[in-house]
Amino acid sequence: MNNEQNKIRGLKFLFFLLLIINYSLFIVSCGYHMIGSKLLPFNSITIKQVQNKTYEPGLEEKLHNALSKEFISQGIEVQRSGSDVEIEATINNFELGSIGAIDDKIKEQSIIMKVYIKLVDHGDITEFKSMESPIKITFQTTGTVTESVAHKERAAEKACNEIAKEIVGRIILKYAK
């Protein structure tokens, strides 16, 4: 009896293994493949000083930090100079929009930020115009002025982080072709 149970278990395992192999071959044959930083033809990047053409102070530092963090998380070394690729970023637009108001008092606002990106790879220039966060960034404006400013600062950092993810994603897709 014990020998028969072992045979049945072995057949079940073999069937399960063949099912996984078939599924894997099906996925591969359909042309699906993983896209990641390993497909990028460069190992390092220089992020030039971010230009801020808006009246909102400190955005250039927030975006530079977000870009650095995102490239590092993708396995790309960020260098001051002498890297394989250079990226230039210019913040062209920063707007606060009202979303919710009660009795003529604004309770919630949104941030719209647009960035121009220029990627230089051995003389080959790629431009991404009007990059913005793929998700809407909002923040509460209730409370004291200090609290509202703190909420706005965190929302601006979140917008920079989301834009940095979008930029790195588009760069990965550019080289994945």
Q: Where are the domains of the chain?
A: 1-33, 37-175
Q: How far is the C-alpha of 94 from the C-alpha of 109, rounded, in Å?
A: 13
Give the pLDDT band of residue 1 (cuts 50, 70, 90).
low
Work out the burial of residue 41: count CB atoms within 10 Å of its CB; fewer than 13 is exposed, 13-18 middle, 19 or more buried: exposed
In 3D space, the residue among 64, 70, 72, 69 whose CA is nearest the CA of residue 43 turns out to be 72
| Average pLDDT of the chain, as a whole number | 83
Whether pTM > 0.85 for this model: the answer is no
Nearest residue to 169 (alpha-carbon basis) of 79, 35, 31, 51: 35
Burial class (CB in 10 A: 0-12, 13-18, 19+), 87: buried
Mean pLDDT for the stretch of residues 108-124: 91
Range name among 67-71, 104-108, 153-157 with the lowest pLDDT average: 104-108
More confident residue, 50 or 177: 50
List the one residue out of 124, 55, 65 whose CA is nearest residue 89: 65
Structure tokens at 106: 């604004």
As a whole number of angstroms, the distance between CA 98 and CA 114 comes to 18
- Evaluate whether 120 touches 139 at the Cβ level (below 8 Å): no
Q: For domain 37-175, say whether CATH 3.40.50.720 is its number.
A: no
The span from the CA of 97 to the CA of 159, in Å, is: 14
Q: How far is residue 77 from each of residues 39, 55, 160, 169, measured CA to CA in Å?
A: 15, 31, 20, 16
pLDDT of residue 34: 47
Confidence of residue 56 (pLDDT cuts 50, 70, 90): very high
